[in-house]
Amino acid sequence: MIEKGVLQIAFISKTTGQIKPSATIALSTRTAELKKNGKDIISLGAGEPDFDTPDHIKQAAIKAIEEGQTKYTVVDGTYELKQAICAKFKRDNNLDFLPENITVSNGGKQIIFNALMATLDQGDEVIIPAPYWVSYPDMVTLCGGSPIIAETSEDTNFKLTPEKLESLITPRTKWLFLNSPSNPSGCAYSYDEIKSLAKILLKYPNVWVLSDDIYEHIIFDDFKFTTIADAEPELKGRVLTMNGVSKAYAMTGWRIGYAGAPKILIDAMRKIQSQSTSNPCSISQAAATSALKGDQKFLKTRAESFKKRRDYVVQKLNEIEDISCLNPEGGFYVFPNCSGILGKKTQSGQIIKNDLELCEYLLEDAGICLVYGQAFGLKGYFRISYASSMGSLIMACEKIKKSIDKLEF
C-alpha cells in the first residue's frame, strides 16, 4: 500500500503538487450536503451575473448553427470577431488595435494562462495585488513563475500604491496584474491612480502589465472606468488589455475571452493555444461577435440593477455590529471586514478564530454560503457576491445579522 502511494505521488508533477485545490471546495461540498439534507441555503458565492444572456445574442448563435458555422475556425478567433473586438476597444477604451493584435480564447482565464505560458521562465516574478482573484497565483505557479503578493489594505480601498509597487519590482519581474473593478473587492482604480502606477512602470521596461478589465461595464455612480494602455499610451507596447463577454453580457458558459496586445505576444499566445485547445467554440464566437457589435444600452440598465443591490447590501452589512464594509465602485462583490468578530464564541462554545471559521459558522447557522477572505489572499474579510435576487439578498442579510448577533466574547 505504501509503495503504491509513493508511486502515485511520484507520478503527479511537482508543479501540480504546488497548486492549491479550489479554496471553495470544502464549503461547496458542505453546502451540497446541507442542501441534500433539506436545509435551505442561499448561495452568495457565485462569480457570475444572475441575468440571462440577451436574446439577440442567443439568436446569433442559433443562426450560426443553422448556417453551418460548426467547423474549426482560425486558432485564436474569426476575423469577424477580431474586427468586432477592435471596434469595441476603440469605442469603449480609445485603443487602436489591428486584428493582428487581437487574440480570442476559451474565456478570459485562458487568455491569462496563455500569456503566462508564453512569457514566464522558471522563477520569473509576477506582482499580484491582494485581495486577488483566486486563480492568479496558482496560474503563475503552474507556468513556472513566482507570484509576488502585494498586500493592500482598506486604507487605500484595497488598491496598490505606487510606493508598494516600486518596492516589489526586481530584475525578475515580468508582469504586474491589475484588476479593476476587482474581484473580490469591487474597488476600481481612478484615472489618477492608474497614472501614478504608470509613472513607476515607465521606469522599469522589464515589467509588462496584464490589465484584467472583465468587470469594465459593471460600474456605478458615474465612476469613469480607466484602462492603463489608454491612460498611459507610452506603456501600450507592454500591456495586455484583457476582457471577455462572461460578466458584461452574462455569458459565463459560452467561454469567450479576448485581449489586445503587441503582436509579438499575441503570436506567442497563439502558438500555445494551437497546441492546447485550438479555437474557442465557433458558435460562441458568433454569439460574442453579436454581443460586441449589437445594442450596448442594456449594459447600463443591468449596472443600475447591480448598483441597487450593492447599496442595499452595503447598508445592511454596516448595520451589523463589528462588521464594516466599503462601498465599492463596481463589480458585483463586496468584501466586508469581519476582524472584529474573530475571537467571539458561538452558542455551543466554539471560538471563531478566522474568516474561514466564520464562513463555516454562517453556512451552518444561517444557511448562507460565502467565500472567506484568505482564499483571496487577505485575512479578516469575506466576499459576498450580490448577483442574486433582491428577495434572497434581503433574507441573507437578515440571517447573517441574526447569526452574528448571537456571537459573544
Ligand X SMILES: Cc1ncc(COP(=O)(O)O)c(C=O)c1O
Contact positions vs ligand X (CB under 6 A): 47, 107-109, 133, 179, 183, 212, 214, 244, 246, 252, 257
User: Contact, 178 vs 197, CB < 8 A?
Assistant: yes
Closest approach of ligand X to the CB of residue 161, in Å: 20
Nearer to ligand X, 212 or 232 (CB): 212
Determine the Cα–Cα distance for residues 270 and 280; give it in Å rounded to an integer. Answer: 12
Pick the closer one to ligand X by CB: 133 or 382: 133
Least distance between ligand X and beta carbon 288 (Å): 11
Q: Which is nearer to ligand X, 197 or 214 (CB)?
A: 214
Nearest residue (CB) to ligand X, 309 versus 316? 309
CB of 284 to ligand X, least distance (A): 11
Are residues 382 and 374 in contact, defined by beta-carbon separation less than 8 angstroms?
no
Q: Count CB atoms within 10 A of the CB of residue 98.
A: 11
What's the min distance (Å) between Cβ of 210 and ligand X?
10
β-bridge pairing 368-369 and 42-43 = parallel
Using the minimum distance from each CB to ligand X, give the nearer residue, 330 or 380: 330
For residue 344, the tally of other CB atoms under 10 A from its CB is 18
Residues 6+ apart with CB under 8 A from 369: 27, 28, 31, 41, 42, 43, 44, 45, 363
| Burial zone of 151 (CB within 10 Å; 0-12 exposed, 13-18 middle, 19+ buried) | middle
CA distance 355 to 382: 7
By C-beta, is 261 or 320 nearer to ligand X? Answer: 261
Identify whether 181 is preceded by a cis peptide bond (ω within 30 of 0). yes
Provide the minimum distance between the beta carbon of 184 and ligand X in the complex, in angstroms, as a whole number: 8
Distance CA 271, CA 353 (A): 47
Give the separation between CA 197 and CA 179, rounded to whole angstroms. Answer: 13
| Strands 257-260 vs 239-244: parallel, antiparallel or unpaired | antiparallel
CB of 245 to ligand X, least distance (A): 7
Residues 6+ apart with CB under 8 A from 104: 76, 77, 78, 81, 82, 85, 256, 257, 258, 279, 280, 285, 288
- Report the nearest approach of ligand X to the CB of residue 46 (Å): 9
Based on CB atoms, which residue is closest to ligand X, 173 or 179? 179
**Helix, strand counts (H, E) of the chain:** 15, 12
As measured in angstroms, the least distance from the Cβ of 108 to ligand X is 3
Closer to ligand X by CB, 257 or 330: give it. 257
Q: Which of 400, 346, 354 is nearest to 380 (CA)?
A: 354
Phi, psi of 300 (to 5 degrees): -65, -40
Minimum CB–partner distance for residue 199 and ligand X (Å): 24
- Residue 196 CA: distances (Å) to CA of 161, 162, 379: 8, 6, 27
Residue number with CB closer to ligand X (88 or 316)? 88
